[in-house]
């Protein structure tokens, strides 16, 4: 299940980048988040929201029955205090813990439209994984559909702000954004005095895949005072072993519970998955010449917090910072 979830999240990363990149022009017109404002206005309905697809979605009132087809949207829903409106989720929406009390409608790559409609929602939250045909079918019966995705912290803030507006929980959303920014500043300040080190992030192992600019993983590396070693123009792409050896990163990071993504078969269940994963990395052909492998600087990070664009990205940043500059946390 964990391997399947990680693979699905990798697919989300890829499609999220494509979706958000295509929607940049439309999103540029959105009002930026003003976290310094002393006055927090209540939502006035009808409310018009522009989503990641550039679609204008109008709300006559705060939604009361929500189906979420993406873990990030589910987490943001609960974060702003609207979790009680959730009536349907995907198999991969498992945070916070109380989400598991809500019935699943299946996967998010192939949503069960009938199961969604049976929940009688007045809002369906989607990501780039949901097909245009599925969105069209849901809209045709008069249900609001909002697509939200993010490839940067600023876009995460924008999404959280939208949740606050939609559910008239603007004070909650502002508090979350303020706390995230304060935590990020604190972590970045803790590591900024140290020299930058080159970091390679393995999104997937077979084939090898990494990430470049305009992704929040790249931003996590930068905020943690690291330098992304991957020579990728932007987004997520396959990466050659030869180029990796030439890059010679000082730190090598990959998500925990990678399983098949790093080379384990789907039947292997080692007692210590992290140790088994690190050994697999070390034993890859040519890897012994890489500085990070030679100096035992291979780190496994939480796959959820570093791939799901929501408030827990702050936890991912702290984990990245501890991997890149452990001396700052002694």
Residue pLDDT, tens place only, 54-110: 999 999 999 999 999 999 999 999 999 999 999 999 999 999 999 999 999 998 767
pTM score > 0.85 for this model?
Answer: yes
> What average pLDDT does range 241-258 have in this prediction?
92
Which of 181, 200, 218 terminates a domain? The answer is: 181
Q: What is the pLDDT of residue 35?
A: 45
**Rounded distance, CA 17 to CA 148, Å?**
12
Indicate the SS3 state at residue 254. Answer: strand
Query: For residue 246, what are the domain limits?
Result: 192-329
Whether the ω angle into residue 253 lies within 30 degrees of 0, i.e. cis, is no
Please indicate, yes or no, whether residues 172 and 205 belong to a single structural domain of this protein: no
Q: What is the mean pLDDT of the chain?
A: 88
Does one domain contain both 168 and 255?
no
Positive or negative, the CA dihedral 253, 256, 261, 264 is positive
Q: Are residues 211 and 141 part of one domain?
A: no
Shared domain for 249 and 118, answered yes or no, is no
């Amino acid at each position: 299940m964990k391997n399947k979830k990680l693979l699905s999240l990798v697919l989300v990363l890829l499609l999220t980048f494509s979706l958000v990149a295509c929607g940049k022009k439309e999103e540029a017109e959105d009002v930026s988040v003003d976290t310094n404002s002393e006055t927090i206005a209540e939502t006035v309905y009808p409310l018009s929201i522009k989503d990641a697809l550039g679609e204008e979605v109008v709300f006559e009132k705060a939604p009361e029955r929500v189906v979420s087809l993406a873990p990030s949207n589910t987490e943001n829903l609960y974060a702003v205090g609207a979790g009680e409106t959730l009536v349907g989720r995907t198999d991969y929406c498992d945070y916070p813990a109380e989400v598991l009390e809500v019935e699943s409608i299946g996967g998010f790559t192939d949503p069960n439209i009938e199961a969604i409609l049976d929940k009688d929602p007045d809002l369906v939250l989607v990501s780039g994984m949901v097909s245009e045909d599925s969105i069209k079918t849901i809209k045709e019966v008069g249900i609001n559909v909002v697509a939200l995705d993010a490839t940067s912290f600023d876009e995460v803030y924008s999404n959280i702000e939208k949740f606050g507006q939609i559910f008239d929980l603007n004070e909650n959303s502002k508090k979350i954004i303020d706390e995230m920014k304060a935590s990020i500043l604190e972590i970045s300040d803790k590591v900024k005095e140290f020299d930058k080190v080159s970091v390679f992030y393995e999104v997937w192992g077979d084939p090898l895949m990494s990430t470049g600019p305009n992704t929040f993983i790249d931003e996590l590396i930068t905020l943690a005072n690291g330098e992304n070693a991957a020579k990728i123009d932007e987004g997520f792409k396959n990466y050659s072993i030869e180029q990796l050896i030439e890059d010679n990163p000082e730190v090598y990071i990959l998500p925990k519970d990678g399983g098949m993504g790093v080379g384990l078969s789907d039947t292997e269940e080692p007692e210590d998955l992290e140790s088994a994963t690190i050994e697999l990395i070390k034993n890859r052909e040519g890897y012994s010449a890489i500085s990070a492998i030679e100096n035992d600087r291979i780190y496994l990070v939480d796959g959820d917090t570093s791939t799901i664009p929501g408030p827990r990205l702050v936890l991912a940043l702290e984990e990245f910072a501890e991997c890149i500059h452990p001396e700052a946390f002694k």
